Amino acid sequence: MSAHAEPEGSTSYLFDTGSDLGDQQMRVMPVLLDPLTLDVLDATGVGPGARCLELGAGGGSIARALAERAGPSGRVVAVDLATDYLEDIPGVEVYRHDITQGLPDPGPFDLIHARLVLLHLPQRLEVLRTLVDALAPGGWLVLGEYSGRLPYASAAPTEDELALFDRVMDIGHHVIGAGAGQSLRWAHEAPEHLLNAGLTNVHSREYSFTTVGGDTACRYIDLLVRQIAPPLLSAGLSEGQLTRFHELMLDPRFRGWFYQFVGTRGQKPSSGGASG
Protein backbone atom coordinates (compact mmCIF):
# COMPACT_ATOMS: atom_id res chain seq x y z
CA MET A 1 0.00 0.00 0.00
CA SER A 2 1.56 3.36 -0.90
CA ALA A 3 2.50 5.78 1.84
CA HIS A 4 0.53 8.81 2.92
CA ALA A 5 3.45 11.22 2.36
CA GLU A 6 4.09 14.09 4.67
CA PRO A 7 7.01 16.43 5.18
CA GLU A 8 9.43 15.22 7.85
CA GLY A 9 9.38 17.26 11.03
CA SER A 10 12.43 17.97 13.13
CA THR A 11 13.85 14.83 14.71
CA SER A 12 17.01 13.95 16.58
CA TYR A 13 17.03 10.33 15.35
CA LEU A 14 20.71 9.50 14.89
CA PHE A 15 20.47 6.90 12.13
CA ASP A 16 19.12 7.07 8.60
CA THR A 17 16.81 4.16 7.84
CA GLY A 18 16.81 5.19 4.15
CA SER A 19 20.61 4.95 3.72
CA ASP A 20 22.55 1.87 2.52
CA LEU A 21 23.82 1.12 6.03
CA GLY A 22 20.34 1.76 7.45
CA ASP A 23 18.97 -0.67 4.86
CA GLN A 24 21.36 -3.39 6.07
CA GLN A 25 20.45 -2.57 9.68
CA MET A 26 16.73 -3.02 8.93
CA ARG A 27 17.40 -6.43 7.34
CA VAL A 28 19.42 -7.70 10.30
CA MET A 29 17.23 -6.45 13.18
CA PRO A 30 14.34 -8.89 12.60
CA VAL A 31 16.72 -11.85 12.75
CA LEU A 32 17.96 -10.72 16.15
CA LEU A 33 14.82 -9.38 17.76
CA ASP A 34 11.63 -10.66 16.11
CA PRO A 35 11.40 -13.95 18.07
CA LEU A 36 11.29 -12.12 21.42
CA THR A 37 9.06 -9.33 20.10
CA LEU A 38 6.56 -11.81 18.67
CA ASP A 39 6.47 -13.67 22.01
CA VAL A 40 5.56 -10.44 23.78
CA LEU A 41 3.02 -9.46 21.10
CA ASP A 42 1.37 -12.88 21.02
CA ALA A 43 1.01 -12.81 24.82
CA THR A 44 -1.47 -9.93 24.29
CA GLY A 45 -3.72 -12.23 22.25
CA VAL A 46 -3.51 -10.11 19.07
CA GLY A 47 -5.52 -11.91 16.42
CA PRO A 48 -8.20 -11.63 13.71
CA GLY A 49 -9.98 -8.28 13.64
CA ALA A 50 -7.33 -6.45 15.70
CA ARG A 51 -6.71 -2.78 14.90
CA CYS A 52 -2.92 -2.33 15.16
CA LEU A 53 -0.47 0.56 15.04
CA GLU A 54 3.22 -0.17 14.34
CA LEU A 55 5.28 2.89 15.24
CA GLY A 56 8.75 3.43 13.75
CA ALA A 57 8.06 0.39 11.60
CA GLY A 58 11.57 0.29 10.04
CA GLY A 59 11.99 -2.70 7.75
CA GLY A 60 8.38 -3.74 8.30
CA SER A 61 8.82 -7.27 9.67
CA ILE A 62 6.53 -6.64 12.64
CA ALA A 63 3.96 -4.74 10.54
CA ARG A 64 3.85 -7.80 8.28
CA ALA A 65 3.47 -10.17 11.24
CA LEU A 66 0.67 -8.03 12.68
CA ALA A 67 -1.15 -7.95 9.32
CA GLU A 68 -1.00 -11.76 9.21
CA ARG A 69 -2.46 -11.97 12.71
CA ALA A 70 -5.12 -9.24 12.26
CA GLY A 71 -6.30 -10.65 8.91
CA PRO A 72 -8.71 -8.97 6.50
CA SER A 73 -11.15 -8.01 9.26
CA GLY A 74 -8.46 -6.07 11.15
CA ARG A 75 -6.18 -3.22 10.15
CA VAL A 76 -2.51 -2.36 10.52
CA VAL A 77 -1.22 1.20 10.35
CA ALA A 78 2.57 1.57 10.00
CA VAL A 79 4.32 4.89 10.65
CA ASP A 80 7.94 5.88 10.05
CA LEU A 81 10.11 8.76 8.86
CA ALA A 82 11.29 6.44 6.05
CA THR A 83 8.68 4.23 4.44
CA ASP A 84 10.31 2.66 1.36
CA TYR A 85 10.46 -0.78 3.03
CA LEU A 86 6.79 -0.65 3.98
CA GLU A 87 5.20 0.05 0.61
CA ASP A 88 4.47 -3.49 -0.54
CA ILE A 89 3.28 -5.20 2.63
CA PRO A 90 -0.22 -6.56 2.02
CA GLY A 91 -2.85 -5.14 4.34
CA VAL A 92 -0.65 -2.41 5.85
CA GLU A 93 -1.59 1.28 5.66
CA VAL A 94 1.59 3.35 5.56
CA TYR A 95 2.23 6.87 6.83
CA ARG A 96 5.49 8.75 6.34
CA HIS A 97 5.24 10.88 9.43
CA ASP A 98 7.19 12.23 12.41
CA ILE A 99 5.48 10.79 15.48
CA THR A 100 6.65 13.65 17.68
CA GLN A 101 4.07 15.70 15.75
CA GLY A 102 1.20 13.44 16.88
CA LEU A 103 -0.37 10.39 15.27
CA PRO A 104 -1.42 10.48 11.61
CA ASP A 105 -4.39 8.22 12.46
CA PRO A 106 -6.19 8.72 15.78
CA GLY A 107 -7.25 5.11 16.17
CA PRO A 108 -8.53 3.66 18.45
CA PHE A 109 -6.15 0.69 18.33
CA ASP A 110 -6.30 -2.68 20.06
CA LEU A 111 -2.52 -2.97 19.86
CA ILE A 112 0.21 -0.35 19.57
CA HIS A 113 3.80 -1.53 19.21
CA ALA A 114 7.05 0.46 19.08
CA ARG A 115 10.47 -1.23 19.07
CA LEU A 116 13.65 0.80 19.59
CA VAL A 117 11.80 4.04 18.87
CA LEU A 118 10.90 5.81 22.12
CA LEU A 119 14.41 5.39 23.54
CA HIS A 120 15.61 7.64 20.69
CA LEU A 121 13.05 10.39 21.22
CA PRO A 122 13.57 13.16 23.79
CA GLN A 123 9.76 13.65 23.60
CA ARG A 124 9.14 10.01 24.68
CA LEU A 125 6.80 10.89 27.57
CA GLU A 126 4.58 13.07 25.38
CA VAL A 127 4.55 10.34 22.71
CA LEU A 128 3.66 7.77 25.38
CA ARG A 129 0.66 9.84 26.48
CA THR A 130 -0.47 10.14 22.84
CA LEU A 131 -0.21 6.36 22.43
CA VAL A 132 -2.19 5.64 25.60
CA ASP A 133 -4.90 8.04 24.42
CA ALA A 134 -5.06 6.18 21.08
CA LEU A 135 -5.61 2.77 22.72
CA ALA A 136 -9.08 1.28 22.68
CA PRO A 137 -10.43 0.09 26.04
CA GLY A 138 -8.72 -3.28 26.64
CA GLY A 139 -6.03 -2.42 24.08
CA TRP A 140 -2.33 -3.18 24.61
CA LEU A 141 0.77 -1.04 24.34
CA VAL A 142 3.97 -3.03 23.69
CA LEU A 143 7.44 -1.48 23.79
CA GLY A 144 10.85 -3.00 23.06
CA GLU A 145 13.96 -1.07 24.09
CA TYR A 146 17.67 -1.52 24.73
CA SER A 147 18.77 -0.99 28.31
CA GLY A 148 21.89 0.64 29.74
CA ARG A 149 23.53 -2.79 29.96
CA LEU A 150 25.44 -2.22 26.74
CA PRO A 151 27.10 -4.85 24.56
CA TYR A 152 30.35 -5.89 26.17
CA ALA A 153 33.37 -7.92 25.18
CA SER A 154 34.39 -11.08 27.03
CA ALA A 155 37.27 -12.11 24.74
CA ALA A 156 39.38 -10.49 22.03
CA PRO A 157 42.83 -11.18 20.55
CA THR A 158 44.44 -8.43 22.68
CA GLU A 159 43.71 -6.35 25.79
CA ASP A 160 43.86 -3.25 23.58
CA GLU A 161 41.00 -4.57 21.46
CA LEU A 162 38.90 -5.36 24.55
CA ALA A 163 39.47 -1.77 25.67
CA LEU A 164 38.73 -0.44 22.17
CA PHE A 165 35.36 -2.22 22.09
CA ASP A 166 34.41 -0.72 25.48
CA ARG A 167 35.57 2.73 24.39
CA VAL A 168 33.52 2.67 21.18
CA MET A 169 30.42 1.52 23.08
CA ASP A 170 30.99 4.14 25.78
CA ILE A 171 31.45 7.10 23.41
CA GLY A 172 28.77 5.85 21.01
CA HIS A 173 26.11 5.63 23.72
CA HIS A 174 27.11 7.98 26.53
CA VAL A 175 28.41 10.84 24.39
CA ILE A 176 26.90 10.61 20.88
CA GLY A 177 23.64 8.80 21.70
CA ALA A 178 23.01 10.80 24.85
CA GLY A 179 23.77 14.01 22.93
CA ALA A 180 21.08 13.09 20.40
CA GLY A 181 18.55 12.63 23.20
CA GLN A 182 18.66 8.83 23.57
CA SER A 183 17.84 7.36 26.96
CA LEU A 184 19.19 3.96 27.95
CA ARG A 185 17.41 4.27 31.31
CA TRP A 186 14.06 4.37 29.54
CA ALA A 187 13.86 0.59 29.03
CA HIS A 188 13.68 0.06 32.79
CA GLU A 189 11.74 3.27 33.54
CA ALA A 190 9.00 2.50 31.02
CA PRO A 191 6.97 0.08 33.21
CA GLU A 192 6.47 2.80 35.87
CA HIS A 193 5.46 5.31 33.20
CA LEU A 194 2.94 2.87 31.74
CA LEU A 195 1.43 2.40 35.22
CA ASN A 196 1.39 6.19 35.82
CA ALA A 197 -0.44 6.61 32.51
CA GLY A 198 -3.20 4.33 33.83
CA LEU A 199 -2.28 1.07 32.11
CA THR A 200 -2.75 -2.21 33.96
CA ASN A 201 -1.31 -5.73 33.62
CA VAL A 202 2.09 -4.12 33.09
CA HIS A 203 4.79 -6.72 32.61
CA SER A 204 8.43 -6.53 31.43
CA ARG A 205 11.06 -9.03 30.54
CA GLU A 206 14.79 -8.79 29.73
CA TYR A 207 16.62 -10.74 27.08
CA SER A 208 20.17 -11.02 25.78
CA PHE A 209 22.53 -13.52 24.19
CA THR A 210 26.19 -14.11 23.47
CA THR A 211 27.76 -13.04 20.22
CA VAL A 212 30.93 -13.91 18.32
CA GLY A 213 32.83 -11.97 15.65
CA GLY A 214 31.29 -12.46 12.21
CA ASP A 215 27.84 -13.46 13.44
CA THR A 216 24.65 -11.46 12.85
CA ALA A 217 24.80 -9.59 16.16
CA CYS A 218 28.41 -8.46 15.65
CA ARG A 219 27.63 -7.36 12.09
CA TYR A 220 24.66 -5.38 13.43
CA ILE A 221 26.82 -3.67 16.10
CA ASP A 222 29.29 -2.80 13.36
CA LEU A 223 26.51 -1.34 11.17
CA LEU A 224 25.51 0.98 14.01
CA VAL A 225 29.12 2.05 14.56
CA ARG A 226 29.66 2.68 10.84
CA GLN A 227 26.61 4.99 10.82
CA ILE A 228 28.09 7.16 13.58
CA ALA A 229 31.68 7.16 12.29
CA PRO A 230 31.90 10.97 11.80
CA PRO A 231 30.91 11.84 15.40
CA LEU A 232 33.12 9.00 16.73
CA LEU A 233 36.08 10.56 14.91
CA SER A 234 35.14 14.00 16.23
CA ALA A 235 35.00 12.52 19.74
CA GLY A 236 38.66 11.45 19.51
CA LEU A 237 38.79 7.99 17.93
CA SER A 238 41.22 7.58 15.03
CA GLU A 239 40.52 6.14 11.56
CA GLY A 240 42.87 3.27 12.49
CA GLN A 241 40.88 2.46 15.63
CA LEU A 242 37.63 2.40 13.67
CA THR A 243 39.19 0.12 11.05
CA ARG A 244 40.40 -2.21 13.83
CA PHE A 245 36.88 -2.16 15.36
CA HIS A 246 35.34 -3.18 12.00
CA GLU A 247 37.88 -6.02 11.71
CA LEU A 248 37.19 -7.12 15.28
CA MET A 249 33.47 -7.47 14.57
CA LEU A 250 34.38 -10.02 11.88
CA ASP A 251 37.02 -11.81 13.96
CA PRO A 252 35.83 -15.13 15.48
CA ARG A 253 38.28 -14.60 18.35
CA PHE A 254 36.01 -11.76 19.54
CA ARG A 255 33.27 -12.90 21.93
CA GLY A 256 30.84 -10.89 24.00
CA TRP A 257 27.25 -10.15 24.90
CA PHE A 258 24.70 -8.37 22.73
CA TYR A 259 22.49 -5.50 23.94
CA GLN A 260 20.05 -6.25 26.71
CA PHE A 261 16.57 -5.94 25.17
CA VAL A 262 13.58 -5.19 27.41
CA GLY A 263 10.06 -6.02 26.24
CA THR A 264 7.22 -4.31 28.12
CA ARG A 265 3.47 -4.61 27.75
CA GLY A 266 0.57 -2.80 29.43
CA GLN A 267 -3.20 -2.79 28.91
CA LYS A 268 -5.76 0.01 28.95
CA PRO A 269 -8.54 -0.89 31.38
CA SER A 270 -11.69 -2.09 29.65
CA SER A 271 -13.70 0.57 31.45
CA GLY A 272 -11.61 3.27 29.66
CA GLY A 273 -10.38 6.51 31.19
CA ALA A 274 -6.78 5.32 31.39
CA SER A 275 -4.96 8.24 29.83
CA GLY A 276 -2.96 10.49 32.08
Nearest in space to 266 (alpha carbons), one of 44, 102, 99: 44
Residue from the set 36, 63, 82, 112 that interacts with ligand SAM by CB under 6 A: 82
Cβ nearer to ligand SAM, comparing 32 with 237: 32
Residue spans of beta strands (DSSP E) within the chain: 51-55, 75-80, 92-96, 109-115, 135-146, 152-155, 200-207, 210-212, 255-257, 261-267
Q: In angstroms, give the least distance from the CB of 175 to ligand SAM.
A: 19
Candidate ranges 76-84, 182-190, 250-258, 265-273; the one touching ligand SAM (CB under 6 A): 76-84
Interface positions, 8-47, toward ligand SAM (CB under 6 A): 11, 13, 17, 29
Candidate ranges 40-48, 80-88, 172-180, 245-253; the one touching ligand SAM (CB under 6 A): 80-88
Nearest in space to 115 (alpha carbons), one of 150, 143, 139: 143
Q: How many residues appear in the chain?
A: 276
Does position 216 interact with ligand SAM (CB under 6 A)? The reply is no
C-alpha 218/C-alpha 144 separation (Å) is: 20
Residue from the set 65, 67, 117, 199 that interacts with ligand SAM by CB under 6 A: 117
Q: In angstroms, give the least distance from the CB of 155 to ligand SAM.
A: 28
Cβ nearer to ligand SAM, comparing 82 with 156: 82
**Contact, 47 vs 65, CB < 8 A?**
no
Residue from the set 69, 75, 120, 219 that interacts with ligand SAM by CB under 6 A: 120
114 burial level (CB within 10 Å; 0-12, 13-18, 19+): buried
72 burial level (CB within 10 Å; 0-12, 13-18, 19+): exposed
Which DSSP state fits 246? H
Q: In angstroms, give the least distance from the CB of 168 to ligand SAM.
A: 18
Residue from the set 89, 116, 194, 237 that interacts with ligand SAM by CB under 6 A: 116
**Contact, 77 vs 95, CB < 8 A?**
yes
User: Which secondary structure element, helix H or strand E, spans residue 35, and what is its range?
Assistant: helix 20-42
Cβ nearer to ligand SAM, comparing 149 with 255: 149
Q: In angstroms, give the least distance from the CB of 23 to ligand SAM.
A: 11
Alpha-carbon torsion, ordered 1, 48, 265, 94, to 10 deg: 10
Interface positions, 42-61, toward ligand SAM (CB under 6 A): 56-59
Candidate ranges 79-87, 104-112, 226-234, 268-276; the one touching ligand SAM (CB under 6 A): 79-87
- Which residues of the chain form contacts with ligand SAM (CB under 6 A)? 11, 13, 17, 29, 56-59, 79-82, 98-100, 115-117, 120-121
